[in-house]
Each structure stands twice: as structure tokens, then as C-alpha cells.
Structure 1
Amino acid sequence: METSYTKIVAQSMWMVWENTFDFFTRFRSESIWRFGICKLVIRRHYGKRIECHDGHQIETGDWIGELHLDNQQVIELSRAVGADRAGIMTARMLRRGMKQISHAMQTSPELAKVKAITGITLLHRGIIHGLGFEQHPITSKWAKGFTKIYLRYLLRILHPEGKQRVKQAGEKLEPRMLVISKQALFDRWTEKDKDKNLRTIYI
């Protein structure tokens, strides 16, 4: 399925906005790390206490890694191989990124203080199943409403059939906070034989 000219323009405009947002993100975070298709924003947690399923707690002021996908890579994959194939490739790249993050958090002094990885997504079912994240509700009504509008629009822009998916899924597309504690991350993604070719880029 070819990407329409209108969608290409919309995607390009979105990436201009996203790059601008990334620039200002540097001022609200201590550092930003890139692991393939994954971007990890290191910042302090300023919300309510998060109770992880394994007993670990994330308190206000604790360091967390805020996980984001590189949407430019997602767009390029979708244009090159189609939405279905791009989804499979993105999932594989995301798994590889999680392995890199786990390894970096065990070996880098700068990341040793991070207590958990968090993220916000509409597509939480597949991510939880494949990556070991647990889901938590977004308690703030304002934050939930804003995030819902933002992520639905993002889905419409990035996915070739995003408009149809949003219409068909309707209210099922509810944003969730994804959390995995540092220990759960290590338990899920630590391997005896590390891939020596994995590259971490720090900015």
C-alpha cells in the first residue's frame, strides 16, 4: 500500500514538530541515550508513587528512563516495506533495543541510578506480552485525555491505515503507562553471551 502524498506531507510536518520537541526535551532531562530504534530519556519521576508488581517502588525524585520509539525510523520502514512488514521489523528492533538497554544499565555508571523504564502507549497489549512491561492506569484525567488525543493523532499520522484503525478500535485505544523495574528488566533481558556488536550512542 503506497503512502499518499497528503500523508507524506503530514508525516514530514510531524517530524519537524517532533524534532523541535526533542530539542527542548534535553532541558528537562539529564541525558538522552539511543539504542537502535529506542530512545531513552533519563529524568526524575515527579508523579505519584508507582508500585511495581515485583515489589519495587518508584518514588517522586527517583531516576527513571522514559522510553520512546524513533518515529522517523518507523516511518521509513513503513514506506520501504509496508505496514505489516514494518510492524514485524519494529518489534524485532524494539526487542534488540531492550537488550541493549539492559546491558547498558548494568555496565554504565551513568545509568546505574535508573530505577525503572517507563513509557506511554496506546498499543499496550502487544508490548506487555512481548517485552515484560506491566501496565498502570494514568490517574490524572487531564493527562489521560491529552495523551489519548496526542497518541491517536500520532497513530493516524504514522500508520498507513491509522485513520481506519482509530475508527475501528474506538474506545479500546486507551493510553496506558508501561513500567518495568530495573530488576525485572535484568531478569527478562540479561543473557550470558552479550552481543559485542551492539552500539550505544550517548548525546
Structure 2
Amino acid sequence: MKLDQPVLTPEISWKKKIMIFLWIQWEHLFYRLFTIQPIDKNQPFLNVRVRTYWGKPIQLLDGEIIKRGDRVLELHLNNEMLFRMGTNSRSSIHLAIQMIRTTEQLLPKTLGFILNHPKYEEIKGLYGISMIHRGTKQFGFTVTDLPRGLFFFLTNIYLRLLLLVVHPQGKQRLQTKGELLSPKIIAISTKEFMRRYPIETELTVL
């Protein structure tokens, strides 16, 4: 599908409405269980938690390395908001612009969250796993493959199911671009993040 092709959002079936409702309820429960909180309660598109990283080393573009045992700020997108953005978007490129604008507004606030954390000096970097990784390099993130193995297999199934449920064109994207949809690690060091997004900086929005 071309980027400028209109997003055709068919009427949502009752089965999918139930799936979306159950998925959103599960996500709310997951957030409470793992103390995941929004960067901005008034605009809860980006949610985070501080945790210990247990994966393989991640070599970042600025030379830093996130290693096993490092503390990271784990990133989570609000899939309910993502679904609403998709259903209200006029085209794929309009959806992308909405996501970019929202992310740009939240990045400086993310630094504020880090600096207000009681153990902010231990946070080595920001880290997430997503199929929506196109465009993250422009924000300074390193994008790398998720190591193959059981975790990759389970994550791939989970994210594909998520895409099928919350994305208005989820089924179509899985059928036409399934081979391109692979979970990736996105990460940036705290040092690089602070350099790019000082709190006093106002980012230019598209």
C-alpha cells in the first residue's frame, strides 16, 4: 500500500469490538501489575517503567552499551490511543504524522520523568520492543534485531496478535506485509537522550 493511499476503515464487527475491549482491559491490568505509568496523564500515548535489563548487550549509535543488569526506562505505547488514531486518520501518512507529533511532544517530558526518578543516575538508557519502529531513528534511537529464540517467537506472536486486534488494517497488513513485520529493539542511551532533548528545548512539530 502506498503511503498516500487513504486508510479505508470498515465498520468494526461486534466480534472485533469484543476483542478490542478485552485486549484493552488486559492492557490496563498489565499496566497496574507492572507499575507502568504514562509520561503525561493528559496525553497517555507513551507509558514507561524502570526495570532491570536482562537481555543480550545492545550496542548503541553513540558508543554506549546496554548490558545485562543495567537499569533501563522501558517504553510502551498506549494501544487504545493508537487504535483511535488509526480509526480517525484520513490516510496512512496522516496516522504517521499524528504519531510523530505526539512523540515529539512527549520526549522532553520523558527526560523530566527520568530526572525525577529517585534512582535516575542508574538509568542507562531507554528501551522498547515494537513492530512500529519506522521513523524512530530520526529521534536518535538505535534500531536492532531482536535475537532469535523463544523470546523472539513469543514476542512475534504477541505483537502480531496485537496488530490484528488494535490496528484498523491489521489483518490486511499481516496478509500483504507479514514478512516485513518483525519485532525490533529500539534503544537510546540516557546521555544521548539528554543531549538531544533537554527539558527547556521546544521541538519543532510537523
**Secondary structure of the structure 1 residue equivalent to 2:34:** helix
Specify which of 91, 96, 101 is matched with residue 92 of structure 1.
101
Structure 1, residues 156-185: CA drift from partner, whole Å, max 9, x if none?
A: 111111110111112111111111001111
- For 2:163, the equivalent position in structure 1 comes to 155
Is the Cα contact below 8 Å between 1:2 and 1:79 reproduced in 2? no
Report how many aligned residue pairs link the two structures.
190
Aligned equivalents of 2:76, 2:155: Cα separation in 1 = 14
Is the Cα contact below 8 Å between 2:131 and 2:181 reproduced in 1? yes
Is the Cα contact below 8 Å between 1:121 and 1:176 reproduced in 2? yes
Q: What residue ranges of structure 2 are gaps of 5+ in the alignment? A: 1-8
Is the Cα contact below 8 Å between 1:32 and 1:42 reproduced in 2? no
Structure 1, residues 39-97: CA drift from partner, whole Å, max 9, x if none?
A: 11111112222222212122222110000011122223334455644442222111211
1:131 and 2:136 correspond = no
Flag the structure with higher helix content.
Answer: 1
- For 1:34, the equivalent position in structure 2 comes to 39
Is the Cα contact below 8 Å between 2:51 and 2:74 reproduced in 1? yes
**Secondary structure of the structure 1 residue equivalent to 2:121:** coil
- For 1:118, the equivalent position in structure 2 comes to 127
Aligned equivalents of 1:122, 1:191: Cα separation in 2 = 28
**Secondary structure of the structure 2 residue equivalent to 1:46:** coil
Is the Cα contact below 8 Å between 2:111 and 2:199 reproduced in 1? no
Change in 2 beyond 3 A, CA 1:11/1:54: same
Aligned equivalents of 2:136, 2:62: Cα separation in 1 = 18
Is the Cα contact below 8 Å between 1:135 and 1:176 reproduced in 2? yes
- Superposed displacement of residue 110, structure 1: 4.0
- For 1:64, the equivalent position in structure 2 comes to 72
- For 1:169, the equivalent position in structure 2 comes to 177
Calculate the TM-score normalised by the size of structure 2.
0.80
Change in 2 beyond 3 A, CA 1:152/1:59: same
Q: What residue ranges of structure 1 are gaps of 5+ in the alignment? A: 196-203
Aligned equivalents of 1:19, 1:45: Cα separation in 2 = 23
Change in 2 beyond 3 A, CA 1:193/1:161: closer
- For 2:58, the equivalent position in structure 1 comes to 50
**Secondary structure of the structure 2 residue equivalent to 1:190:** coil
1:145 and 2:150 correspond = no
Is the Cα contact below 8 Å between 2:46 and 2:76 reproduced in 1? yes
Change in 2 beyond 3 A, CA 1:102/1:34: closer
